[in-house]
Structure 1
Amino acid sequence: MLAYQFIGLNGDSTQSGGGPAEGVKTPTKFLPVAQGFVVEIVNDGDIKFLNSQRVFKTEATDETIFFRQVASSNEGEASNTEDVIKKIRLQLTTSNGLGREIVMGFSSVTSDEFDYGYDAKAYETFNNDLLTVLEENTMVLQAYSEITSDKVVDLTFKADGNGMYNIKATQFVDFPIDQPVFLLDNFTGTYYDLSQEQGYNFTSQSGVYTNRFDIVFQGSETLSTDGFTFNNDFGIYYNSNSNKLFAKQSNQDLKSLTLFNALGQKIFQIQDIKAEDLQSGISLKNASTGMYVVILKTVEGKILNKKIIID
């Protein structure tokens, strides 16, 4: 068996902290050659490894211990599929070939909150970037709970100027063949099937877009209506006389309402809207004439896109 999972700076281990020992060996302060290990950094500063730190210690005298993976008694034994983390590698590429790759994982042993050891912050951002979001932090690696049909993963996209961009899934790991995965462009209302090899091409102006892209797990024919309560006369329109946006005949409260202009820029957003407020009108002043995309998101994460014309 392996050793304790962790020994802290104060000497506490998983056993001394009240939990059971995760093995029968206790590590020493001397690491044998080729032994893998993990270090947690608690202060800023430089880390140096010097040859002078090398000392000769042997396992025979219990001065050092080498930890190995225990061989399975059945080489053909399958791993526990319930603990498998399904992973998506998603890549943003600019017209000059630069870009960013991020990784998302989904499993029964991780959550939609911060998962220590699974999530990694983006400590550096680029002029053109694609990242996931956890609370106020942008992430390059992020784990989530299991995939459900109504799950929505928000992405943050950053562009340094006019140009062509491509977003594609470079790898799916342990994903069922029949699991749909879409990139949702909230500005155009496009659901792009990420199983396609060429990726999703689009243009953008300079800016940071926190509401343009999502990863979703069902297509437009489901997301557009599922989770909303409509009457037959449901509609979204802008009244130029009152400078108000109306969503008539909707009986559902919303988590957010967002308005994008024809350039993909977010010009308006409001949170936590009651159904009666939608029907009585949302004040929207100083809106220029043109085409807009309205994004409605329910408290369950369902999304509806509608285009409107303001004249």
Structure 2
Amino acid sequence: MKKFALLIYIISIQSFGQIYVGASTPVYVKNQVLYVGQTINLAANSNLYLRNLSQLVQGTTGTSTNVGTGIISVYQEGSADNFDYNYWCSPVGVNVAATGNRNFGITLLNRPTTSTASTAATILPLASYDGIANPLSIASRWIYKLTNANSYSQWVQVGTTTTLAPGEGFTMKGTSGTDAVDPEGTGANNPGGTGAQRYDFRGKPNDGNITVTVGAGNASTLTGNPYPSALHLNAFLLDPLNSACTGIAYFWEQDKTTNSHLIKAYRGGYATYSPGSLGSNGIYVPATFNSYNGDGSLNTVGTSSGLMRQRKYSPIGQGFVIKGAANGTVTFRNSYRIFYKEGAGLSQFEKPAKDKTTAKTEATAKTEKAEESNDIPHIRINAIINNEFTRQLALAFLPEATDGVDRGLDAVSMDNFPSDTFFLMEGKNYIITGTNFDITKQIPLTVKAEASTTLKFYIPEVINFDPAQNIFIYDASDASYHNIKTGNYEVTIPAGVFPDRFKITFTNKTLGTDENAKSNFFIMQDNSSRLLKASNPDFILFKSFYLYDMVGKTVRYKENLGVEENYSFSTSGLSSGVYIATFITADNEKISQKVIISNAGN
């Protein structure tokens, strides 16, 4: 009776200062968040089950004080079959009595048989290549970690050992076969051929500050969400206290139609996530699928994965790679934890979208819709190289962005292709960059070619940016402009590196204004309609407009005029008198004229 009463208590009240679960007591949380302000004490043989997308959030501000040999149990499904990798990070560690977080190993993984019962996974020896869905058998051969690495040879095999520290990510291949068990009654199982293996993570829940070491020079470290709740990835990446990393996350994607364990047959790559700002939905550039030689070096390049995923909130178990900006550490904190359901718009594990959500309240649906509209203004630029693969770049527009490298916005490429295109900054290749939009800007686009190479540039998508704004590729070889928003530009280049030949521009007019064009520019005041009008028959590019009174005070002002045949500005409400209208061209030349404004009744 005591166990039953505690079970009802947990379901009906979800927020606690601390929790003690008595010996051999089961607690079941379904489809909700359980918030514990401080310590969780799980006595021997006690169980805390998080089911139907339930999550555990804690409020500890320092290191974990969780204690006890009881366990929590939380599910996550992979997307990899027995030939493919998922990147993981465990939400639990070994359930020892001592206080605090503990190491993890794949021996803590289980196969669910009912909503509360599980069978420990069989851990296959290193000589075995293929995992099996039922009974769940995991190939330990493919369990690796990566810390402060600059080369493929620095992957470290973990195998069957329990040596993964909290916050350390790991690779694991999935399973072959089917598993029809549906312990949560959601209709989701592993039907075979999908790699949707359900894993039951059982152990002591990770909590509090979790520190991960990073290294200078863009060294790569595999980490991930270390908690049994969603992680606000933007908050982690952009926290100034974590400035030892570049503020960018990379996600492994693999061509799941390639069924081989040979490295030379692998086709995969890293997608790139730039948070941009705390509240934004970030920018995600999909991976380009590459194949590799036996030593891990690049063999050939392939098509873009084309997979667009939402990464703002990392779901339970999600692994990702970060790069170091300096030697030091980054720290995961409980303040980054959030209850956000996987599949609810902005949280996806590395797998095709699958509806795991339950019915939403009207308030929840409105909140998700509001968040999903918070996109950073940006454009995507595709470059098809030799009709063999597509390199996608992203150019973001933020008022606070500089023309240099901005942490948490500009993203260096994980690739080093023999033929490629990128934004070159501080000697490194970037595939995401940000700038403060100015219609007069010309943004260099570097191209390199191993041999004679054909490129085709076009804009596949414009996000939260002026849909009327044209976008051009400027080719300095013949001073030509090509609208890649309404069409494409195809060009063949010789072998070499071209840092100055191509530029992204927002007008197809060369800078500089000849005297004839200036004389044709006409300014007049139409007092009947209370409008100042200007005619621009030669389509001069203007940055701004000022209207001054005779004592030099600015009474009207507008930026980013762009190129228009006609302009008009309201003069309603101004006192009658003489004013000076001034237009500033893109090369900072002024065209000014006196006008007489007569507003009867003013």
- Normalization by structure 1: what TM-score? 0.52
Q: CA deviation at 1:29?
A: 11
Q: CA deviation at 1:178?
A: 1.6
Distance in 1 (CA, whole Å) between partners of 2:148 and 2:455 is 38
Q: 2:424 aligns with which of 133, 149, 157?
A: 133
Q: Which amino acid aligns with 1:115?
A: D
Aligned to 1:46: 155
Distance in 1 (CA, whole Å) between partners of 2:64 and 2:471 is 46
Q: Structure 1 residues 62 and 94 mapped into 2: Cα distance closer, same or farther (>3 Å)?
A: closer
Aligned to 2:440: 150
8 Å Cα contact 2:380/2:394 also seen in 1: yes
Q: What SS is found at the alignment partner of 1:66?
A: coil
Aligned to 1:207: 496
Q: Structure 1 residues 43 and 60 mapped into 2: Cα distance closer, same or farther (>3 Å)?
A: closer
Q: CA deviation at 1:128?
A: 2.2
8 Å Cα contact 2:207/2:227 also seen in 1: no
Aligned to 2:410: 119
Q: Which amino acid aligns with 1:97?
A: E
Q: 2:384 aligns with which of 78, 88, 93?
A: 93
Q: CA deviation at 1:168?
A: 1.6
The answer to which structure, 1 or 2, has the higher relative contact order (CA under 8 A, 6+ apart) is 1
In structure 1, the gaps of 5 or more residues are 3-22, 233-299, 303-311
Aligned to 2:506: 217
Q: CA deviation at 1:155?
A: 0.8
The within-5 A match list for 1:153-168 is 153-168=443-458
Q: Structure 1 residues 196 and 124 mapped into 2: Cα distance closer, same or farther (>3 Å)?
A: same
Distance in 1 (CA, whole Å) between partners of 2:384 and 2:415 is 17
Q: CA deviation at 1:51?
A: 5.0
8 Å Cα contact 1:184/1:216 also seen in 2: yes
Distance in 1 (CA, whole Å) between partners of 2:65 and 2:435 is 36
Q: 1:179 aligns with which of 464, 469, 485?
A: 469
8 Å Cα contact 1:156/1:210 also seen in 2: yes
Distance in 2 (CA, whole Å) between partners of 1:33 and 1:86 is 36
Q: Structure 1 residues 61 and 111 mapped into 2: Cα distance closer, same or farther (>3 Å)?
A: closer
The within-5 A match list for 1:1-311 is 24-26=59-61, 28=64, 34=76, 41-42=147-148, 44=150, 45-48=154-157, 50=159, 52-53=161-162, 56-59=202-205, 65-68=227-230, 69-70=338-339, 73=363, 75-77=365-367, 78-79=370-371, 84-108=375-399, 110-142=401-433, 144-197=434-487, 199-220=488-509, 224-225=510-511, 228=512, 230=514
Q: Structure 1, residues 121-154: CA drift from partner, whole Å, max 9, x if none?
A: 2354333211111122221222x13322122211
Q: Which amino acid aligns with 2:477?
A: F
Q: What SS is found at the alignment partner of 2:461?
A: strand
Distance in 1 (CA, whole Å) between partners of 2:454 and 2:393 is 19
Distance in 1 (CA, whole Å) between partners of 2:421 and 2:65 is 41
Please, what is the CA RMSD of the aligned residues?
Answer: 4.4
8 Å Cα contact 2:456/2:490 also seen in 1: yes
Q: What SS is found at the alignment partner of 2:384?
A: strand
Q: Which amino acid aligns with 2:203?
A: K
Aligned to 1:286: none
8 Å Cα contact 2:146/2:156 also seen in 1: no
Q: What SS is found at the alignment partner of 2:500?
A: coil
Q: CA deviation at 1:62?
A: 9.2
Distance in 2 (CA, whole Å) between partners of 1:203 and 1:104 is 24
8 Å Cα contact 1:107/1:145 also seen in 2: yes
Identity among equivalent pairs (%): 17
Distance in 2 (CA, whole Å) between partners of 1:164 and 1:187 is 15
8 Å Cα contact 2:419/2:450 also seen in 1: yes
User: Quick check: which has more Rg, 1 or 2?
Assistant: 2
